[in-house]
Amino acid sequence: MEKDIVVKSPAKINLHLEVKGVREDGYHDIVSLFQTVSIYDTLKFRSLKKRSDIRISGNHDIPDHDNIIKKAFDVFVKKTGINTGVDLELEKHIPVQAGLGGGSSDAASTLIGLNTLFKAGLTDKEMMELSQELGSDVPFFISGPAAVVTGRGEKVEPVQPRSDYWIVIIYPDIRVETKTAYQWIDEYRCAEKKPRFTVESLIEKYKNPVNTWPFYNDFNAVLLNKFNVYSKLEEILEEKGACFSCVSGSGSSLFGIFNSENDAEEAKMAFIGEYPLVTVARPLDKKIQPVLL
């Protein structure tokens, strides 16, 4: 057993997100292009020899009954039979309900960290199966760093990641619950005709120059209709040279894609001081990796 493990848990953006109809199980099918980015929560693990539960501390206010990290611990224990307790310190930097996948990433990082801490030897396939019990986006973070995601989020097709662009990410301090956002999208279906992509065609488009990407997010029109701030943000990003911009996930963060680091940094300065999170991030090219202390 290792003594201490640290895992940097990355955020993600949806470079593309199509939302299809409601399935029989109540979920929506999606076709999406996920990319992890350089904004992180940090999880530090230490074993507690005399406990059979997880003790979570840190700068968060998530109750235990609604904490996906606790749920990840429970499914790991059920799978492995390991009953040693864990002290986990969580340092959060990814905003909650922001479309950046912070909770799902933390859950995946918990499984990865526990697997390393206890030398449980779970395979990637087993980890993917466990992650499906936790939430729609969690399997992606086990796989990462870039993938086309379909079904309700459980089908992950990894793609060769790119690192030749920069991302300005803005969180406008609006919390959007995923369930509510999907209700909105069912009520407000944009009449605009948009191209629809297969997994294969989306991968091919992703290989093209960034300024030719035909990507979009079906939630974009919905949130522009609900909150005036998005039109303002998109207008400024376009003025600053963004190749394109849209919300991530079901909101509420919005991002702009830039060919140039200088342009991205200049665009960031137009928003600094106005919103809780404004940053320039890079797309990541590696999966989540635990670090031994």
Would you please indicate which residues are annotated as catalytic (active-site) residues?
A: 12, 137
Rounded to whole angstroms, the Cα distance separating 239 from 236 reads 5
Rounded to whole angstroms, the Cα distance separating 246 from 232 reads 12
* Helix ranges, 207-293 (H): 219-226, 229-239, 261-269
- Reading the block at residue 83, the tokens are 């009953």
Whether the CB-CB separation of 69 and 142 falls below 8 Å is answered with no
Task: Calculate helix-pair angle for 124-131, 102-117, nearest 10 degrees.
Answer: 140
Q: What is the 3-state secondary structure (H, E, C) of 82-93?
A: CCCEEEEEEECC
Q: Scanning the structure block, which residue is given the tokens 């992606």?
A: 140
* Helix ranges, 83-175 (H): 102-117, 124-131, 138-143
